[in-house]
Chains A and B, each alone.
Chain A
């Protein structure tokens, strides 16, 4: 039986990097074939080539046995390939129906939503999807936006569906539902290419192709594979997939509260209530994990706790002093460090050099100035020290930060925030998009800070990581705290239930 879709020796280059290196891959009718690999392994690039978004420099693609050339996604869509992207491509101000319909080739100039509506309704019936077609996408929850993305592809009669990290923003419950629907799709003869880095999902596929640094390591049937084997293929060496359970440093029974948050609320400019009645305490020598799918108020919480946003109600106390209403400048000077989740946009000046970024926020401090001027010598020295201490791979301190890889850029932020803070560390998704090796490093550094007596708030979408590293975990949903558990006593299902329990309520 010939494969439905196949690529042979596919090569895709970008300036300075070979993203896909002679990749050979095929997809059979009705199967779920997983593309597995670390960040930067080339999974998304490969799928973009298969979807016609990128044009490969080498190799070719075959569909239904004969060679095809996709000059644009239109060609791929024409043969029935659809793609659901990891970062949604939706128009917030359009309705669900408009998002599905825009850019699809209906006949004529008139905007005919009626027949489109009928078709989408039928699809929703088929897959038991519950969506208000006239709702504005900006009002939808993240999980629901995922359905819109899927419907977009199904509306175009996709028989091959590429799903790029589909569960990255879903609760455990929603993920389960998604896989249920994937099953249904397979029964309807839709073949699926699933891109994922989560072992639990990989093991649900039929076959898996492991990519490492742009090249195929191997393709195996899941029936013949084990997680250890796949991890080894992915990373190239024996390594534990995640950081293992560590023990809290023993500080005796009495822990000093560092950060106390009481009844804090924040209403966004749009009028939506982003935080409602948040109350929590973080003690010194403690890592408080923050679980919850992005978009439920975590970002606002971090910004309130670092002084970027001022809460509309409630009180915040730091080391015993009331800091409610203060600005980020004050929080920084009181020893609060912030690792933002969008590192290039919120934590760095990409065009500035590494050493200049090391002093971001501290440019007026005596440590880096002499008189009214910046001291180039002090800045350079500090940069050099940080580069050494944190093993940042960079030609020199004068290199612009936008030349750095995500991991090294994150190290710049870590270096700065670790050295400038003294009491509280706020880490929002610090390992997102990083290689395993760097992830290990980041977590070990955070744990080291905890052992030094810092209070740490750590948000992560990887629940296993949170369970392994945190002392307690607070779960957020829709701007509220829905539960606080002891990490040692809890589990992924329990946290997942807390997240969805609130949503069901």
Chain B
């Protein structure tokens, strides 16, 4: 309705006005500019470290998608990211600002590991199913706690989930760092659990020794999220809650109940990411291998436009970046930490693009 900027240039003024109707090509242009700007800033960062920028980018993308082997590694890395991205989307679409994906990943890994210990003698199919289910339940549990804290006690969900992230990590570091799950071998104490039994390992796809069925789970979860959000009454309520919880509550929907369901789904999917990492990739529980999936998932969800398909694409992209980063580190001598920095930059530029897409530049004649 009003102008953000008013820069009089003589008789001609440039005004920035809010758009009435979203324009697809303008929106695309904004996001393209955001991507280029983000890449540009990243290039600047690489350049200031003294490395060869062009070589850095080439090795980065080569290591990500340059060969079949690279693709497989990227998709494997993408799996937990897609899942945490989906978890973010389910919550954020309802305007529930859960930052708990990180903790739910850990919680899922822990729940699954517990099942792995408890149900060790069962036939493989049931064993694996229970492990996966336990992981999802553990993740969902953490989410439900945050939802209850919000609906019953009015505790801001950002703060409660951030705090619980720390608490869960402390719990895990105790369990595997001196506690009952610690691996001890010939008087050396490691900060990790013992290796999971072979029967608990998630089967690999296509005979690769890297890409496991959790990737399929991630895709299924994406379809699930899409269908629920767009095609079911629950999805209607989630989306409505994200836009206008007041009107939704006035017309008969129990917001508290909906929030609990949202956080349960979000937590379960994030927990699945933890299962994927432990039982598909690293095969033992450590704090550092699980670190960061949750936070990156937030970025992926946002960059993916809070759409399940977007999360899949962004997840694969980011999985590629993280795979390529190792290659880049080796060949172009750029610290792998450029990737989280780049992810953060892209998030901010995309956020700005999202706002800019809603405005347009207009030239206005003023007669003075």
Contacts and interface: CB of A to CB of B under 8 A. Distances in A.
B18 interface: yes
Nearest to B6: A55
Contacts of A328: 249-252
A27 to B, nearest CB: 23
Nearest to A54: B2
A14 B3 CA distance: 10
B163 interface: no
A424 to B, nearest CB: 15
A277 to B, nearest CB: 25
Contacts of A364: 233
B253 A329 contact: yes
B233 A369 contact: yes
Interface in B341-364: 364
Interface stretch (B51-59, B117-125, B213-221, B240-248): B240-248
A interface, by DSSP: helix, strand, loop or mixed? loop
A363 interface: yes
A22 B243 CA distance: 38
A389 to B, nearest CB: 20
A373 B228 CA distance: 8
Interface stretch (A110-118, A145-153, A347-355): A347-355
Nearest to A16: B20
B232 A361 contact: no
Given A328-B250, A360-B248, A361-B253, A57 B243 contact: no
B250 A374 contact: no
A338 B232 contact: no
B362 to A, nearest CB: 8
Contacts of B233: 363-364, 369, 374
Residue with the greatest number of chain A CB neighbours at <10 A, chosen from B231, B251, B367: B251
A497 interface: no
Interface residues of A, number: 35
A430 to B, nearest CB: 15
A486 to B, nearest CB: 32
Contact of B237 (A69, A308, A363): A363
A471 to B, nearest CB: 27
A65 interface: no
A361 B249 CA distance: 9
A54 B1 CA distance: 11
Given A15-B1, A345-B246, A369-B233, A352 B251 contact: no
Contacts of B226: none
A349 to B, nearest CB: 5
Contact of A57 (B20, B236, B254, B364): B364
Interface residues on B, range: 20 to 34
Residue with the greatest number of chain A CB neighbours at <10 A, chosen from B227, B235, B244, B250: B250
A478 interface: no
Contacts of B248: 349, 360
Nearest to B227: A373
A356 interface: yes
Given A15-B1, A329-B253, A346 B236 contact: no
Contacts of A340: 250
Nearest to B230: A374
A175 interface: no
Interface string A259-289: 0000000000000000000000000000000
A258 interface: no
B19 interface: yes
Contacts of B21: 403
A16 B247 CA distance: 27
A348 B251 CA distance: 9
A374 B232 contact: yes
Contacts of A60: 368
Interface in B1-51: 1-2, 6, 17-21
13 contacts: A14-B1, A15-B17, A15-B19, A57-B365, A58-B367, A306-B250, A328-B250, A329-B253, A351-B244, A364-B233, A372-B232, A373-B227, A403-B20
- For the complex of A and B, the 8 pairs showing the least CB-CB separation, nearest first, are A361-B251, A329-B252, A363-B233, A361-B252, A363-B236, A364-B233, A351-B243, A328-B252
Interface of A: 14-16, 54-55, 57-58, 60, 69, 306, 308, 327-329, 332, 338, 340, 345-352, 356, 360-361, 363-364, 369, 372-374, 403
Given A57-B366, A351-B243, 10 more contacts: A15-B18, A350-B244, A352-B239, A352-B240, A360-B248, A361-B251, A361-B252, A361-B253, A403-B20, A403-B21
